[in-house]
Amino acid sequence: MSDINADAWVSSGHRPMGFPEFVVVIASIMALNPLAMDMMLPALPNIRSAFQIADANRPQMVLSIFLVGFGVGQFVMGPLSDRFGRRPVLLGGMTVYTIAGLLAIIAPSFETLLLARALQG
């Protein structure tokens, strides 16, 4: 075994995140899930009319699919963060979340919107 100096791995210009910054970042990330669900609730009638959905309960699938994606994501992201570390997985997840949000905005069909919401979960 070779002796590894931990200071050699850290950039000299790097300043660790302070506690207040850490709390703001974590709180913002944790707020995304409730925000993503609560923002959709008032839009359900508009989603129904925009996609000409006959069944009044079908637009609620947007919320259900999001929760299914969130649940399945736990099984995917956990092992990935064990393998690659939390930061790269978190940044990758935030990238997928953003791209899925953009896909949801331009969704041409209800099924595409459901796919985007599953990816957001």
Dist CA 56 CA 60 (whole Å): 8
Helices (H), the chain: 19-38, 44-50, 61-84, 86-105, 110-120
Q: For each of the chain's 121 residues, which pLDDT tens digit applies?
A: 555 665 555 556 677 888 999 899 889 988 988 898 898 899 999 999 999 999 989 999 999 999 999 999 999 999 999 999 988 999 999 999 999 999 999 999 999 999 999 999 8
Residue 17: its pLDDT value, please? 82
- Show me where the domains of the chain are located: 17-47+58-120
CA dihedral 105, 106, 112, 116 (to 10 degrees): -40
* Residue pLDDT, tens place only, 19-42: 999 899 889 988 988 898 898 899
| Burial (CB count <10 Å: 0-12, 13-18, 19+), residue 19 | exposed
* Angle, CA of 51, 38 and 65, to the nearest 5°: 55
Q: Which residue has the tokens 């508009």?
A: 46
What does the alpha-carbon distance between residue 108 and residue 50 come to, in Å, rounded to a whole number? Answer: 10
Cα–Cα distance measured from residue 5 to residue 8, given in angstroms and rounded to the nearest whole number: 6
